[in-house]
């Protein structure tokens, strides 16, 4: 490597001028990538199947975010292993702002406690860029298998038949799995978990009667509910959901153990660790502006979701708190996947 002679720095004012110019050039070199970013398409890595609730949200902001940033947003599906395949891919990607992850409270929270052999750290290997929204889950049941019309009746039925009923999820360690795990642990229920490869398969299993129930995202449960194929017994959020105001919260059911129950999950965007903070800030501002556009906000809320607007620093704290919470739930429920 070429090294400037040390004597150069002892030649008076001219040496100082040269050193200052070199420092300024270095600063400009570092600033230029962030100032000009993005100059080519951005790839958003999706860890869940096309058509899943996570995918629906990502695709809702795909085009307006592309317009805001002036470059195409390409969604690349790398589904499987509860989102871990996609997370590992992004954790190892170049930290230049062109490869991002669309993560969840599961991929960057509960997975850290569920999977002991992860090849990446859900916090250290990522920069939390921006949340998008909080997703409400709802207990959805097949009325032909579950005659219960209230949460109290459902709990009584399950307790009277421990181990008889199977609940579906969108995959081991996903938000729907964790919501049901917390529900069962709190209420003392014994049920068999049947994981599927994604939301469409899990919901179809309930509609067909292959499983009795699922903690589904409200947005994916709505079509089946409106068609009269399923019954909704309670939402997992602390407050009722505007899209289905007739469905009470689980917390308000009066069932022992249900008080205070709040198991909503968030979706958000992550970048590889080491990504330029200026790029992170620029992307955070763009996402916040997009999700607050009236038509997008209205669409999300009509699907039972709530916007979450946070700075990268605030989102980082949310991610950390989320990881701690789910670690406690997983320990209480004695869940271990590897």
Task: Check: CB of residue 105 under 8 Å from CB of residue 54.
Answer: no
**Percent of the chain having pLDDT more than 70?**
90
Q: How confident is the model at residue 304 (pLDDT cuts 50, 70, 90)?
A: confident
CB contact set of 276 (below 8 Å; sequence gap of 6+): 30, 33, 34, 37, 95, 97
54: Cα separation from own chain's centroid: 7
Does residue 152 carry a pLDDT above 50?
A: yes
Q: Could you tell me which residue, 5 or 75, shows the higher pLDDT? A: 75
The pLDDT value recorded for residue 289 is 98
The pLDDT value recorded for residue 4 is 37
Question: Average pLDDT of 326-330?
Answer: 88
Q: Could you tell me which residue, 101 or 15, shows the higher pLDDT? A: 101
The two three-digit tokens of residue 304, written as one number: 């039972």
Average model confidence (pLDDT) across the chain: 89
The pLDDT value recorded for residue 10 is 44
The pLDDT value recorded for residue 12 is 52
Q: How confident is the model at residue 26 (pLDDT cuts 50, 70, 90)?
A: very low
Q: How confident is the model at residue 233 (pLDDT cuts 50, 70, 90)?
A: very high
Question: Of 133, 134, 131, 135, whose CA–CA distance to 283 is shortest?
Answer: 131
Does residue 208 carry a pLDDT above 80?
A: yes
Does residue 32 carry a pLDDT above 70?
A: no
Residue 127 CA: distances (Å) to CA of 109, 120, 121, 235, 320: 14, 13, 11, 31, 12
Does residue 173 carry a pLDDT above 80?
A: no
What global pTM score does this model have?
A: 0.78
The pLDDT value recorded for residue 82 is 84
As a whole number of angstroms, the distance between CA 111 and CA 193 comes to 17
CATH classification for the domain delimited by 137-252, as one of 3.40.190.10, 3.40.640.10, 3.30.379.10, 3.40.50.300: 3.40.190.10
As a whole number of angstroms, the distance between CA 170 and CA 51 comes to 12
Does residue 71 carry a pLDDT above 60?
A: yes
Does residue 142 carry a pLDDT above 70?
A: yes
Question: Average pLDDT of 102-108?
Answer: 94
Q: How confident is the model at residue 13 (pLDDT cuts 50, 70, 90)?
A: low
The two three-digit tokens of residue 175, written as one number: 């938000």
The pLDDT value recorded for residue 3 is 41
The pLDDT value recorded for residue 129 is 98
Does residue 7 carry a pLDDT above 60?
A: no
Domain ranges (residues) in the chain: 38-135+265-333, 137-252
List pLDDT tens digits, range 183-193. 998 999 999 99
**Percent of the chain having pLDDT more than 90?**
71
Check for a shared fold between 38-135+265-333 and 137-252: yes
Q: Where are the alpha helices (DSSP H) in the chain?
A: 13-36, 53-69, 84-91, 111-114, 151-160, 175-187, 199-208, 218-226, 277-291, 294-302, 312-333
**38-135+265-333 maps to CATH 3.40.1010.10:** no
Does residue 194 carry a pLDDT above 90?
A: yes
The pLDDT value recorded for residue 8 is 36
Q: Could you tell me which residue, 317 or 35, shows the higher pLDDT? A: 317
Q: How confident is the model at residue 17 (pLDDT cuts 50, 70, 90)?
A: low
The pLDDT value recorded for residue 332 is 80
């Amino acid at each position: 490597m070429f090294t400037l002679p040390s004597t150069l720095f002892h030649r008076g004012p001219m040496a100082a001028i040269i050193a200052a110019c070199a420092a300024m050039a270095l600063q400009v070199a570092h600033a230029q990538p962030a100032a000009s970013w993005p100059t080519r398409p951005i790839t958003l890595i999706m860890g869940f199947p096309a058509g899943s609730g996570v995918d629906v949200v990502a695709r809702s902001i795909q085009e307006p975010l592309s317009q805001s940033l002036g470059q195409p947003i390409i969604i690349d599906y790398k589904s499987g292993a509860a989102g871990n395949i996609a997370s590992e891919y992004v954790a190892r990607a170049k930290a230049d702002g062109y490869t991002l992850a669309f993560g969840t409270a599961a991929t960057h929270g509960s997975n850290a406690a569920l999977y002991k052999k992860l090849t990446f750290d859900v916090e250290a290997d990522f920069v939390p860029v921006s949340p998008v929204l909080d997703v409400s889950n709802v207990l959805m049941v097949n009325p032909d298998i579950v005659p219960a019309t209230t949460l109290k009746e459902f709990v009584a039925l399950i307790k009277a038949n421990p181990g008889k009923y199977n609940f579906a999820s969108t995959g081991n360690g996903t938000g729907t799995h964790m919501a049901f795990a917390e529900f069962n642990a709190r209420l003392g229920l014994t049920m068999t978990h049947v994981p599927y490869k994604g939301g469409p398969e899990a919901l179809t299993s309930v509609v067909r009667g292959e499983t009795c129930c699922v903690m589904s995202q409200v947005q994916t449960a709505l079509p089946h509910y409106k068609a009269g194929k399923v019954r909704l017994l309670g939402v997992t959020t602390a407050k009722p959901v505007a899209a289905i105001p007739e469905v009470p919260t689980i917390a308000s059911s009066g069932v022992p153990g249900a008080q205070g129950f709040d198991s909503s999950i968030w979706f958000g965007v992550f970048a590889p660790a080491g990504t330029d903070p200026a790029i992170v800030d620029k992307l955070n501002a763009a996402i916040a502006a997009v999700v607050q556009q009236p038509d997008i906000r209205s669409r999300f809320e009509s699907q039972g979701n709530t916007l979450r607007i946070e700075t990268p620093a605030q989102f980082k704290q949310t991610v950390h708190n989320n990881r701690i919470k789910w670690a406690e739930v997983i320990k209480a429920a004695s869940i271990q996947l590897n």
